[in-house]
Structure 1
Amino acid sequence: MVSVSAGDVIRLLIADDQALVRGALGALLELEPDLTVVGMAADGAEAVRLAEELRPDVCLMDIQMPGMDGVEATRRIRQASAGTRVLVVTTFARPGYLRSALDAGASGFIVKDTPAEELAEAVRRVRSGLRVLDPVLAADSLFDGANPLSDREREVLRLAADGRSAAAIASEVFLSAGTVRNHLSAAILKPAAFSSQPA
């Protein structure tokens, strides 16, 4: 679990075209003492405007919205408010969307049926600079088509998918934690690893 300093509240913007979903996500996340919702947007254009105005720490972004979709909104938010990280939260668990969102600058991609405690932890991890990917979708993307990753990179990525720490992975594969972190970093920096069929 990512630790958050006392008094360090993570400010959230929620972008989703369904009012019930926005409200539910907001209510769940507000239950966490270190998370607060500072704005809600019904479409991508509003999300970009609010991100520029409010400068939230994390924007939870839907993919399919009227007008400007979540991918384009992610790209614009990252350009307009570099300190705002984007966590895509969607019902559309398609590898093509994952690749597009990462290319646009998203720091994470998870599905809406993620348990509330895992969603909150994903927000914390994204805020701390980590990348969070739905493990099933990441695996589907990883093994779809040509794979640019080495065998070792695939091995540590598989072990990391269930939330194991670098130290835990290191002890299992007989490497140092630093070497494991290097393999994970190398895997993340190979965007072709997430190539997929069109969404």
Structure 2
Amino acid sequence: MVTAIRQAERPTRVVVVDDHPIMRAGTQAALEEQADLAVVGVAADGAEALRLSDALRPDVLVLDLGLPDISGVEVARQVSATSPEVNVLVLSAHDTLGNVRSLRDVGVRGFVSKLASGDELVGAIRRVAAGGTAISVCRGSALSTGGAGSKDAAGDEPQESLTAREADVLQLLAGGRRNMEIAAELSVSVNTVEFHVRHVLAKLGARSRTEAAMRARELGLCPATRDRTAA
């Protein structure tokens, strides 16, 4: 019983990996403000990240993709293969659908934009530490479906980037909100929402709101919720 109580009270152990000193220190400081999180190690490159992950076995590895020696994707792949109990959460400035897909394939449990708030990062860490997943790229930044001239997995024509506002609409649409609710949430008119929805559907190659919501969920962009997307 005592052991169980101590386990419940133990803070979530986090290792932060980023090659930029200011970003690394800022992330560490933000996490250390939380009583239930403990930063047990920091690293500036992939080799050190792998060493700390193996030696410390943290609950969550917060990982930047752009490391100077080993790519963040390769670090995530190795950690997931050798230390599956370590939950990898990527914190990156590169918000593309292709990144989200490839990272999920190598075992990453969470993806948070560097444009996200500290509260979003903290919430994502708590979710992946509890065994869930956390994708936070829909709000606050423009999303690319893969970059200029790229094609989707099915080999279709290149798709355009979603603007920040279109990404906002997509997240709310995928959450089951109706146009009137989206308009109220974003403080815009219903006509403006309808305009953005048409663009989102076209850019995702979706024929309906429901299909757009399903595509967003399949790509890991937005959490699966009870479907209320019928107009």
Structure 1 length as normaliser, TM-score?
0.70
1:105 aligns with 2:107: yes
The equivalent residue for 2:122 is: 120
User: Which residue identity does 1:155 align to in structure 2?
Assistant: A
Segments of 5+ residues of structure 1 without an aligned counterpart are 175-199
Identity of aligned residues (%): 34
- The secondary structure found in structure 2 opposite 1:11 is strand
Matched-pair contact (CA < 8 Å) for 1:10–1:34: yes
Matched-pair contact (CA < 8 Å) for 2:95–2:137: no
Matched-pair contact (CA < 8 Å) for 1:95–1:138: no
1:50 aligns with 2:52: yes
Partner Cα separation in structure 1 for residue 128 and residue 93 of structure 2: 19
Deviation of the 1:138 alpha carbon: 11
Deviating beyond 2 angstroms after TM superposition, the runs of 4 or more aligned structure 1 residues are 94-100, 134-142, 144-147, 149-163
Deviation of the 1:100 alpha carbon: 2.3
Partner Cα separation in structure 2 for residue 16 and residue 64 of structure 1: 8
Partner Cα separation in structure 2 for residue 95 and residue 28 of structure 1: 27
The equivalent residue for 1:27 is: 29
Deviation of the 1:156 alpha carbon: 5.8
Partner Cα separation in structure 1 for residue 229 and residue 100 of structure 2: 28
The equivalent residue for 2:66 is: 64
Of the three residues 213, 219, 225, the one matched with 1:155 is 213
Deviation of the 1:96 alpha carbon: 2.8
1:74 aligns with 2:132: no
Q: Cα deviation per residue 1:113-157 (whole Å; 9 max; x = unaligned)?
A: 211111100001111222212342897549x7348x997575367
- The secondary structure found in structure 2 opposite 1:100 is helix
- The secondary structure found in structure 2 opposite 1:38 is strand
Deviation of the 1:56 alpha carbon: 0.1
Segments of 5+ residues of structure 2 without an aligned counterpart are 1-6, 155-203
Partner Cα separation in structure 2 for residue 92 and residue 155 of structure 1: 22
Q: Cα deviation per residue 1:5-28 (whole Å; 9 max; x = unaligned)?
A: 951411000011111111110000
Higher-Rg member (1/2): 2
Structure 2 length as normaliser, TM-score?
0.61
Question: CA distance change for structure 1 residues 156 and 46 in 2, over 3 Å: closer, same or farther?
Answer: same
Question: CA distance change for structure 1 residues 19 and 102 in 2, over 3 Å: closer, same or farther?
Answer: same
- The secondary structure found in structure 2 opposite 1:126 is helix
Partner Cα separation in structure 2 for residue 50 and residue 150 of structure 1: 47
Larger relative contact order (CA 8 Å, sep ≥ 6) = 1
Partner Cα separation in structure 2 for residue 155 and residue 31 of structure 1: 36
Matched-pair contact (CA < 8 Å) for 1:15–1:60: yes
Matched-pair contact (CA < 8 Å) for 2:95–2:144: no
Matched-pair contact (CA < 8 Å) for 1:86–1:105: yes
**Correspondence list, 1:130-145, <5 A:** 130-136=132-138, 140-141=144-145, 145=152
User: Which residue identity does 1:117 align to in structure 2?
Assistant: D
The equivalent residue for 1:96 is: 98
